[in-house]
């Protein structure tokens, strides 16, 4: 059976980042699959149309089907990406969904490598630059079942044997998801605006028995929070509020512990901000 993959990209404000992402998608190698692009425009003030998408794809790639959906407002990541997922699900021949942040750049071989993993949810290794301007490789993450906080498994080397064991979640900046996952557990929870929606989705998927893996043979470059800034006040706000929603939804009887930890963490951040750190 020939696979059909929907590449769903959520655009927000930064056309330069989105154009780089699209260029890398246009260069991706294909194997026993076809793919098409759904770009969801989460910036209604910008007229980003099908022709704009096409001009960012490399010459010779203009045969890739492209769909552009313009939201009436910035709906956040979960609700925004759901618009594209629902569009892709309407095509009964679509077997997989590659979700991409617009601040990512994919290598040519990434998709073919990820397909070989044959996991229900798979991510490449995420490569990003640290505050010290060095490359860091992210191999997925774990969730603390007592506090609800997440921990990324990181290394300064691209090691294929990293996280050989089980992981709890992978980053929503790049996820390849089989159709059956959405048909079983539904979409991303739209109560999350930005941050923790990927952790929530993977948590629900694991509870339903789906497999989650990181493909150690390829990576994707990610400009962390390229649209709003990694350590901006907005980013911190969405992270903390997303964490609170995750605690409320998933920790059960451990919620008091989770909220106590979150309160202390918020207090620490506030003190550091006031001290100019």
Number of domains in the chain: 1
Q: Which domain holds residue 31?
A: 3-227
254 domain residue, yes or no: no
* Average confidence (pLDDT) over 171-180: 96
19 domain residue, yes or no: yes
Cα gap 272→28, rounded to integer Å = 43
Q: Is the pLDDT of residue 229 over 80?
A: no
pLDDT grade for 227, boundaries at 50, 70 and 90: low
203 domain residue, yes or no: yes
> What value, to the nearest 5°, has the Cα angle with vertex 187 and ends 107 and 198?
50
Res 234: pLDDT: 77
pLDDT grade for 2, boundaries at 50, 70 and 90: confident
Q: Which residue in the block uniquely carries the two structure tokens 């952790």? A: 199
Cα gap 132→103, rounded to integer Å = 20
171 domain residue, yes or no: yes
Q: Is the pLDDT of residue 177 over 70?
A: yes
Task: Please state whether beta strands 96-101 and 174-178 pair in parallel, antiparallel, or not at all (unpaired).
Answer: antiparallel
End-to-end CA distance of the chain: 55
* Average confidence (pLDDT) over 3-10: 95
Res 54: pLDDT: 74
* Average confidence (pLDDT) over 185-189: 97
258 domain residue, yes or no: no
* Average confidence (pLDDT) over 29-38: 87
pTM for this predicted structure = 0.90
263 domain residue, yes or no: no
Q: Which of 224, 198, 226, 172 is closest to 18 using CA atoms?
A: 226
Q: Is the pLDDT of residue 48 over 90?
A: no
For residues 202 and 157, the model is more confident at 202
CATH of residue 79: 3.90.550.60
Dihedrals φ, ψ of 142, to 5°? -125, 155
Res 255: pLDDT: 95
195 domain residue, yes or no: yes
Res 100: pLDDT: 95
244 domain residue, yes or no: no
Q: Is the pLDDT of residue 230 over 70?
A: no
Q: Is the pLDDT of residue 144 over 70?
A: yes
Q: Is the pLDDT of residue 228 over 90?
A: no
């Amino acid at each position: 059976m020939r696979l059909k993959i929907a590449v769903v990209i959520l655009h927000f404000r930064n056309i330069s980042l989105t154009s780089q992402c699209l260029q890398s998608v246009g260069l991706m190698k294909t194997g026993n699959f076809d793919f098409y692009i759904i770009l969801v425009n989460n910036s209604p003030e910008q007229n980003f149309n099908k022709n704009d998408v096409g001009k960012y794809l490399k010459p010779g790639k203009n045969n890739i089907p492209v769909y552009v959906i313009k939201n009436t407002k910035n709906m956040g990541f979960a609700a925004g990406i759901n618009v594209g997922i629902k569009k892709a699900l309407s095509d009964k021949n679509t077997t997989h969904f590659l979700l991409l942040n617009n601040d990512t750049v994919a290598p040519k071989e990434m998709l073919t490598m990820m397909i070989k993993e044959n996991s229900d949810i798979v991510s490449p290794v995420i490569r990003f630059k640290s505050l010290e301007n060095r490359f860091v490789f992210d191999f997925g993450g774990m969730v603390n079942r007592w506090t609800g906080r997440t921990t990324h498994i990181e290394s300064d080397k691209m090691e294929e044997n990293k996280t050989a064991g089980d992981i709890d979640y992978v980053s929503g900046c790049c996820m390849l998801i089989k159709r059956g996952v959405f048909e079983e557990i539904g979409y991303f929870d739209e109560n999350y605006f930005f941050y923790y929606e990927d952790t929530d989705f993977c948590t629900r998927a694991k509870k339903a028995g789906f497999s989650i893996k990181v493909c150690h043979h390829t990576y994707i470059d990610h400009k962390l929070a390229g649209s709003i800034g990694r350590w901006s006040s907005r980013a911190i706000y969405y992270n903390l509020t997303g964490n609170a929603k995750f605690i409320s939804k998933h920790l059960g009887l451990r919620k008091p512990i989770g909220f106590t930890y979150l309160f202390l963490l918020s207090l620490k951040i506030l003190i550091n901000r006031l001290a100019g750190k």
